[in-house]
């Protein structure tokens, strides 16, 4: 049987890596921004490792993944975040498949929760005026005004520099973002 698995290309190494240990390897193997690594670390430590971290990679079944998704849903986690956690798990297991530790990515066979399409709630002009009047003395009032009047995301607003502002032309250029 062992020889046949090598010939067929389905041989997997006999390793005792847990998901927690292999997730560390996955994290260091990623070529992403440091902010992404920080974000992934939080997701791993808060959600993935407590639910599945003690399992050896070969012990993880789609039923265990489904149970983790259900548990996250019961805690009130949004479908979007559950989908993101599932994507991290799929990526970790894809690396395990690539390194011949497991033969298949069991996370691929799991049904994901539907994302609700809720309509965005926006303030009325009166509500915005009230908010801006309320924060008038705040140290961050200028930043709140930029948010309110431009629609910039947090990272875009924080990444602004004076050179991005053209007072004569009345424009603001978004050239970078900060985390």
Q: What is the pLDDT along the chain (179 residues), one digit of tens a residue?
A: 555 554 555 545 567 889 999 999 999 988 888 888 999 999 999 999 999 999 999 999 999 999 999 999 999 888 889 999 999 999 999 999 999 899 899 999 898 877 666 667 888 999 999 999 999 999 999 889 988 888 898 889 888 999 999 999 999 999 988 86
Contact 22, 105 (CB under 8 A): no
Contact 175, 164 (CB under 8 A): yes
Which pTM does this prediction carry?
0.62
- SS3 assignment, position 160: coil
The angle formed by the CA atoms of residues 140, 145 and 146, to the nearest 5 degrees, is 100
């Amino acid at each position: 049987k062992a020889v046949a698995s090598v010939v067929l290309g389905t041989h997997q190494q006999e390793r005792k890596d847990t998901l927690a240990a292999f997730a560390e390897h996955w994290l260091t193997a990623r070529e992403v921004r440091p902010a992404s690594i920080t974000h992934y670390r939080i997701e791993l430590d808060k959600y993935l490792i407590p639910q599945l971290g003690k399992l050896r990679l070969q012990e993880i079944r789609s039923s265990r993944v489904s149970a983790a998704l259900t548990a996250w849903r019961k805690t009130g986690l949004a479908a979007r975040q559950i989908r993101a956690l599932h994507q991290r798990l799929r990526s970790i297991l894809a690396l395990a498949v690539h390194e011949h530790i497991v033969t298949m990515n069991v996370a691929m066979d799991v049904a994901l929760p539907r994302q609700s399409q809720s309509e965005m709630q926006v303030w009325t002009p009166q509500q915005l005026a009230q908010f801006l009047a309320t924060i008038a003395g705040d140290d961050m009032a200028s930043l709140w005004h930029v948010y309110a009047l431009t629609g910039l995301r947090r990272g875009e607003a924080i990444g602004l520099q004076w050179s991005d502002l053209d007072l004569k032309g009345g424009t603001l250029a978004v050239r970078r973002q900060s985390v």
